[in-house]
């Protein structure tokens, strides 16, 4: 098992929550000032989502404890509709729009789970939905978006091309562009997972959250800061797509190349809203290799009867990578998603122990 050295904890001054001006790169459609959600917003989101989403289970597995030396509690976000935590955020956002806003429709660009979440929430709220993906999308995820009734537009070779097209489309049609991270209602919806987790496992010492755009880790920070200030929140990203990690470390929104195989973590830039929250409360941000993530996904399969997509296994990878830090502690590991492609599963199994 290899891992990168964990950077030291940031000790930036924390004050009241500042409003955040998103960078144009991070939120192409919005120059608005974003204010992070409060605990009140998260409680509100829980009430809004309650009729739509069940509480996801937490489970412990002896093979995971044996492999890590820790007491691991897995939060099973892979069991939500659409197979990833992102549906919490998209549903909370769309359930709060007015009929007039819904009539104008929504647009999102994504290679994966954000697209499915927005399409699912759009269907649930009767909102016309267009999803833009690059021209050779993951066929499983493209099919899922179509099955949810969204209009799928394939445009450009890269994520950036798709983003530019989605932005132009929204500008032309008046549809609302839904960012994967710079959306307070989305972060508040995602944060309901951490309210649940604190109720289900109130004695956790630390929670480890896989990061792409940072909505999940920011959500964990907001809930921990309000309800469990001594709960350590650790973020993890692939070292082959370190934009969020590097943004947190440098204190600036940086762009980084993406070579990671873990789609859910493969975000090329830091996002203003989530980075602002992470800077205030995140305990640490670590990097793991794609191979370590594959190994952890294999352990989820063989040791926890759980199909995790590789992004969803990054938290477990971080715990496996640093026994000195985690052994003997009660560690929440968020399994963020289960939408593994057949090719991904074959690779993971090939790398798993015999
Ligand atoms: C989107 C996603 C992530 C990263 O979440 P962010 O909130 O963008 O940081 C992690 N795992 C899975 C499965 C995802 O779909």
Report the separation in Å between the CA atom of 97 and the middle of ligand 1, taken as the mean of its atom positions. 23
Q: How is 222-249 classified by DSSP, letter by letter?
A: HHHHHH-TTSEEEEEEETTS-HHHHHHH
* Degrees to nearest 5, angle at CA 180 with 28 and 113: 135
Listed in sequence order, the DSSP H helices in the chain are 39-49, 62-68, 86-95, 99-104, 113-125, 139-147, 159-173, 184-200, 215-227, 243-250, 272-281, 290-304, 314-321, 323-326, 342-351
312 lines ligand 1 (CB under 6 A): yes
210 lines ligand 1 (CB under 6 A): yes
213 lines ligand 1 (CB under 6 A): yes
Pocket test for ligand 1, best of 36, 216, 236 (most atoms within 8 A of CB): 216
Round to whole Å and give the CA distance between 236 and 38.
24
Q: What is the pLDDT along the chain (354 residues), one digit of tens a residue?
A: 334 444 444 444 334 444 555 443 334 334 357 999 999 999 999 999 999 999 999 999 999 999 999 999 999 999 999 999 999 999 999 999 999 999 999 999 987 899 999 999 999 999 999 999 988 888 888 899 999 999 999 998 877 788 899 999 999 999 999 999 999 999 999 999 999 999 999 999 999 999 999 999 999 999 999 999 999 999 999 999 999 999 999 999 999 999 999 989 988 999 999 999 999 999 999 999 999 999 999 999 999 999 999 999 999 999 999 999 999 999 999 999 999 989 999 999 988 766
Closest C-alpha among 116, 103, 111 to residue 149: 116
315 lines ligand 1 (CB under 6 A): no
Report the separation in Å between the CA atom of 89 and the middle of ligand 1, taken as the mean of its atom positions. 11
Strand order in 151-154's β-sheet? 151-154, 129-133, 106-109, 176-177
Give the other-Cβ count within 10 Å of 5's Cβ.
Answer: 8
Domains of the chain: 17-84+184-352 (3.40.50.1100), 86-178 (3.40.50.1100)
Report the separation in Å between the CA atom of 265 and the middle of ligand 1, taken as the mean of its atom positions. 6
Q: What is the DSSP letter of 70?
A: S
| Atom number, ligand 1, closest to the C-alpha of residue 309 | 13
215 lines ligand 1 (CB under 6 A): yes
Strand order in 58-59's β-sheet? 58-59, 71-76, 330-335, 206-210, 232-238, 284-288
337 lines ligand 1 (CB under 6 A): yes
Round to whole Å and give the CA distance between 247 and 272.
10
89 lines ligand 1 (CB under 6 A): no
pLDDT for 5 equals 40
Closest C-alpha among 278, 219, 223 to residue 10: 278
pLDDT for 353 equals 64
Pocket test for ligand 1, best of 187, 265, 278, 310 (most atoms within 8 A of CB): 265
Report the separation in Å between the CA atom of 237 and the middle of ligand 1, taken as the mean of its atom positions. 10
């Amino acid at each position: 098992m290899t891992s990168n050295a964990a950077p030291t904890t940031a000790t930036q001054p924390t004050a009241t929550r500042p409003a955040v001006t998103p960078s144009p790169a991070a939120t192409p459609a919005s120059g608005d000032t974003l204010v992070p959600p409060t605990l009140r917003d998260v409680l509100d989101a829980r009430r809004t989502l309650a009729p739509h989403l069940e509480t996801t289970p937490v489970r412990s597995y002896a093979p995971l404890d044996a492999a890590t030396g820790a007491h691991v509690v897995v939060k099973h976000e892979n069991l939500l509709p659409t197979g990833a935590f992102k549906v919490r955020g998209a549903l909370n956002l769309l359930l709060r729009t007015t009929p007039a806003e819904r009539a104008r429709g929504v647009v999102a660009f994504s290679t994966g789970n954000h697209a499915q979440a927005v399409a699912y929430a759009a269907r649930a709220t009767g909102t016309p939905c267009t999803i833009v993906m690059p021209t050779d999308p993951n066929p499983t995820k493209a099919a899922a978006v179509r099955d949810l009734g969204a209009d799928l537009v394939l445009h450009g070779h890269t994520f950036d091309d798709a983003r530019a097209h989605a932005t132009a489309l929204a500008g032309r049609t008046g549809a609302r562009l839904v960012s994967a991270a710079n959306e307070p209602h989305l972060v508040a919806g995602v944060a309901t997972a951490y309210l649940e987790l604190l109720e289900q496992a109130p004695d956790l010492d630390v929670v480890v959250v896989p990061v792409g755009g940072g909505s999940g880790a920011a959500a964990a920070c907001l809930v921990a800061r309000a309800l469990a200030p001594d709960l350590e929140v650790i973020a993890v990203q692939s070292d082959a797509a370190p934009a969020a990690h590097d943004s947190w470390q440098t204190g600036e929104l940086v762009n980084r190349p993406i070579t990671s195989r873990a789609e859910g973590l493969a975000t090329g830039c830091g996002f203003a809203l989530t980075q602002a929250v992470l800077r205030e409360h995140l305990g640490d941000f670590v990097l793991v290799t794609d191979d370590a993530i594959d190994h952890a996904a294999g352990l989820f399969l063989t040791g926890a009867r759980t199909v995790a997509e590789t992004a969803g296994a990054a938290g477990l990878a971080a715990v496996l990578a640093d026994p000195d830090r985690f052994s003997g502690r009660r560690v929440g590991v968020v399994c963020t998603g289960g939408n593994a492609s057949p090719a991904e599963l074959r690779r993971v199994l090939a790398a798993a122990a015999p």
